[in-house]
Amino acid sequence: MTAEENMAVIRRIIQAFNDRDLTVVPRLVTSGFVRHDLAGAFVDVKGREEVGDFMQLVLKALPDVHVTIEDLFATEDRAAMRITVTGTHQGEFQGIAPTGKKIKFSSFNLYRFEEEKLAEFWQLIDVANFLRQIGGLTL
> For residue 16, what is the domain's CATH number?
3.10.450.50
Q: Is residue 74 part of a domain?
A: yes
pLDDT at residue 119 above 90? yes
Q: Is residue 139 part of a domain?
A: no
pLDDT, tens only, 33-82: 999 999 888 888 999 888 888 889 899 999 999 999 999 999 999 999 99
What's the pLDDT at 40?
A: 85
Q: Is residue 55 part of a domain?
A: yes
pLDDT, tens only, 26-46: 899 999 999 999 988 888 899
What is the residue-averaged pLDDT of the chain?
92
Q: What is the residue range of 119's domain? A: 3-133
Q: Which residues are CB-contacts of 19 (< 8 A; sequence separation ≥ 6)?
A: none
Beta strands in 75-127 (DSSP E): 78-88, 102-114, 117-125
- Please tell me the total count of domains within the chain: 1
Q: Is residue 138 part of a domain?
A: no
